Amino acid sequence: MGDEVMKEIRYRPIGIIHSPFREPRGTPIQPTAAEDVEGTVELFPEYTEGLKDIGGFSHIILIYHFHLAKRVQLKVKPYMDDETRGIFATRAPPRPNPIGISIVKLTGIEGNTLRIRGVDIVDGTPLLDIKPYVPEFDVRKAERIGWLERRVSKLHKTRDDGRFSKDVST
């Protein structure tokens, strides 16, 4: 490819995430604020053999498509703030590539279905990938957390208020 710039990248879902949340409004905004919320991941049958050995991990990383995000916004007012921030300084859904990640607890496997806990994802969300969570790989000591420093205490009571989702009635 050399210096040629990629114009487009396409992914196909490998499954569907199921949760008790039927719409974005009211959904916890991070897995740590949804510790007791249970759900499932329905992997499409053709990917089932890829689950071999996943049961040895207590937690997994789900990578998914924010299918209900409305238009791209490069500046947003995030859930836990009153100021406008750059999209890349937030975890808000209306991103140029609307990709979400959540670390969830894996509580069981039945065929091509994973039972999970700590679900902060809307029911019916397309799954793009699963990776094992490994603290030695994934945990870093952060020296600073930007604008969230004074607001992170709001996490457990903050819920999605619908500001970034498409109007599903249209």
pLDDT, one tens digit per residue, over 99-149 is: 999 999 999 999 999 999 999 999 999 999 999 999 888 777 777 656 666
Number of structural domains (the chain) is: 1
What is the enclosing helix (H) or strand (E) of 114?
strand 113-117
**Position 170 in a domain:** no
Which residues form the domain of 153?
Answer: 15-157
Domain annotation covers residue 8: no
> What does pLDDT average to over the chain?
85
pLDDT of the residue at 2: 54
Secondary structure (3-state) at 154: helix
Taking residues 2-19, report their average pLDDT. Answer: 86
pLDDT tens track for 141-156: 777 656 666 666 555 5
18, 93, 147 from 152: Cα distances, Å: 27, 18, 9
Q: Report yes or no on 166 lying in a domain.
A: no
Nearest residue to 57 via CA among 132, 166, 152: 132
Q: 116: which DSSP letter?
A: E
Higher pLDDT, 48 or 8: 48
The predicted model gives 64-78 an average pLDDT of: 90
Long-range contacts from 154-159, C-beta under 8 angstroms, 24+ separation:
154/80, 155/29, 155/30, 155/32, 155/33, 155/80, 156/32, 156/33, 158/28, 158/29, 158/33, 158/79, 158/80, 159/25, 159/26, 159/27, 159/28, 159/29, 159/79
Distance CA 56, CA 152 (A): 32
Alpha helices in the chain (DSSP H): 135-138
Is 6 or 23 the better-scoring residue by pLDDT?
23
Q: What is the three-class DSSP state of 16?
A: strand
Report pLDDT for 77. Answer: 86
Asked if the model's pLDDT at residue 74 lies above 80, the reply is yes
Residue 117 falls inside a structural domain? yes
What is the CATH classification number for the domain harbouring 69?
2.40.30.70
Residue 120 lies in a domain: yes
Q: Is residue 6 part of a domain?
A: no
* pLDDT for the residue numbered 48: 98
Specify whether the CB–CB gap between 13 and 65 falls below 8 A: yes
